[in-house]
Amino acid sequence: MSPRFFLALLLAAPVACAAASCTEVDGWNAGRRGAAADAACTADAYAEAFRLGESLAALKTRREALDAQAARLPDQAGALRRQQRQIDVDIEAIHGVATLRGWPVQTLSRESGRKDTP
């Protein structure tokens, strides 16, 4: 092997072997986006953060569905609004956990994974 080829191979190796980002925040954001959990991330903290993010996304989706349902079914709107209030409490609890752990609670763009700007 020539020294140049060996040097090029040595410099390219870190790029090819880049490790998955497995921080708690990465798990939280993946869950909030509805992305799959990274199989390379096996830490319990990542898995817990992912589950919380996933739960938050599911609660927000359920709340939006209840809005549409309440508009279609005015005679059931009161019960549906009560369900929404409970979901709001659950969402706020998850936001509290995220805030305590230093995870972002801003809305994510589903396409890019970046925060939406107002």
30: containing domain: 15-101
Cα of first residue to Cα of last residue in the chain, in angstroms, is: 55
In a domain, 110, yes or no: no
Give the count of domains, the chain.
1
In a domain, 6, yes or no: no
In a domain, 106, yes or no: no
Percent of the chain having pLDDT more than 70? 73
Cα separation of 21 and 28, whole Å? Answer: 12
In a domain, 10, yes or no: no
Residue range 60-108, pLDDT digits in tens: 999 999 999 999 999 999 999 999 999 999 999 999 999 999 999 887 6
In a domain, 111, yes or no: no
Predicted structure pTM score: 0.73
In a domain, 107, yes or no: no
